[in-house]
Amino acid sequence: MRREKTNTAMADAKRNKREGKDLGLSNLLIGILFLINPYYGVIDILPDFIGMVLIYRSIEKLADLDERLHDSKKNILAATWVSVAMFFAMGMGIFSGGMDKTTTLTIMLASHIVYCILLIPGFRNLFAALEYGDIRKNSEKVEQKDSNPGIISAVFLVVRGICAFAPWLSALGYRDEFNSKSAMHIFLIAAAGVVSLVFGIIWFSNVRKYMKAFFRDREMVEYFYNRYQNEIACDKNLWFRRGISKFTIYSLVGYFFTLSIPLDGYYFMPEFLFALFMFLAFNSVKDYPGNKKRIRTSLICFGILSLLRYSAMLFYSVTYEFISSPYDGRLSSPVKFWIVYAIIAVLTAASCAFMIVLSVEHHRFRNHMIVESVGKANNESVYRDEMDEARRKELRHKSIAVLVLQIIYAVATVATTMMIPFGEVSDAFGLQWLYRMLLLAAAMIGIYAVSLSISSEAARIK
């Protein structure tokens, strides 16, 4: 009996999915699990951004059916970017040997204030929209009130924020800024962690109970599913425009991860994530007639090679302290250095070769979107064909210019990586990260500009 009671909302969601009535809400509880664990400083064992992404994906499908769900999606998306920034702050804190108490306190206080501003109305709107689905269905007007999960979500987020930053107030006056070893400080961290976890479990249990009741209401699920199929799923132009937006966002995020700037002498930017986000970008464009096998092979090869390169660069950062020259015998023998240097050079060149292949496919994707978007709007002009052809030609030329920038950036990645060990020899080598950053900025601006032009054409499709 107890086991049957624990088989709750996720099982009901899976049953609906098997029946072809998936509302996209099946990952909501999993996403919440990533938010209930306590912090230690900026260290978050279960990264918030993973949970935020899962929650966002859970409500994305239904967001067009209700204004409150749409507002909830926007708030959770904004909170997702805050959680990504927190993840990078955690990485910098770990790789730099820890942050001082003032920095830790400032980051935790600022981030959780923003979390509360965004997520409290986000969860309130989410549960209120689900709760009143049957009211909208029956066209009844009643006085609206906050749903129970929305209130408990707000309480948990406030408590979580207080428990995240309050313990660090007790150690600000100690000379050892990373670890005061104060008994009071350690006690406060442990107590805050327990309180945050208890409130998190209460929140999760409440949402689990609520979602269980929601999925068992077959009439409610049927109502949401039918509205989605009749109003959203059949709108091909809507999905094409969204595909362009996703293609642009995923592409820009993927390129961002290729910027390997050292922080405190360490290379911790996971460049291999470029392959993941480019996969998402290519997958966002449906019915693409290109060579998908070549794209998959290039993505896999780039991911493996860049992961090996990342490992070698991290080893190099730790062993050779970033800017040491191969002739500095105080740190290690020149032979060992040149072995590591050669491995990094080969892996960088090989991974960037696949980056160029992916850049060419990226250009072909843009051309496909140009063909599908230009000339689809109503235009009564007698010069319509000439105008459309001129516009397509203009956008293709812009796409070629962006491709050139992408290729230059890939080649520059190899050249600037080879400059890294010689930063002490010359300032020209020491500024290699700046050259690479400027080229990357040019490529990303180009990708965004072309995609924006294509989006403006797609918005005119009737």
CA-to-CA distance for 350 and 358, rounded, in angstroms?
Answer: 13
Q: Which residues are CB-neighbours of 372 under 8 A, at least 6 positions away? A: 240, 458
pLDDT recorded at residue 121: 92
User: 46-53: long-range contacts at Cβ-Cβ below 8 A with a sequence spacing of 24 or more?
Assistant: 47/83, 47/87, 47/90, 48/83, 48/86, 48/87, 49/80, 49/83, 49/84, 49/86, 49/87, 51/83, 52/76, 52/79, 52/80, 52/83, 53/80
* Local confidence pLDDT in tens for the 462 residues of the chain: 434 444 554 555 555 554 446 677 778 888 899 888 887 766 777 888 888 988 988 888 788 787 888 889 889 989 998 888 888 777 666 555 556 667 777 777 888 899 999 999 999 988 888 776 544 444 444 444 445 788 899 999 999 888 887 777 765 555 544 444 567 777 888 888 889 899 999 999 999 888 888 888 777 778 788 878 887 777 777 778 788 888 888 899 899 888 766 655 555 677 888 999 999 888 887 776 677 888 999 999 999 999 898 888 777 766 665 544 444 545 556 777 778 788 888 999 999 999 999 999 999 989 888 888 876 655 555 566 787 788 889 999 999 999 999 999 999 989 888 887 776 677 777 788 788 889 999 999 999 998 888 888 777 765
Q: Hunting for tokens 């859970």 — which residue is that?
A: 58
Closest CA to 208 of 3, 13, 22: 13
Give the residue extent of every domain in the chain: 2-233, 236-458
CA-to-CA distance for 199 and 194, rounded, in angstroms?
Answer: 9
Query: Any idea what DSSP says for residue 99?
Result: -
Residue 6, judged by CB atoms within 10 A of its CB (0-12, 13-18, 19+), counts as exposed
Residue 44, judged by CB atoms within 10 A of its CB (0-12, 13-18, 19+), counts as buried
Which amino acid is it at 128? A
pTM, two decimals, is 0.69
Q: What spatial distance separates the first Cα and last Cα of the chain, rounded to whole Å?
A: 56
Residue 23, judged by CB atoms within 10 A of its CB (0-12, 13-18, 19+), counts as buried
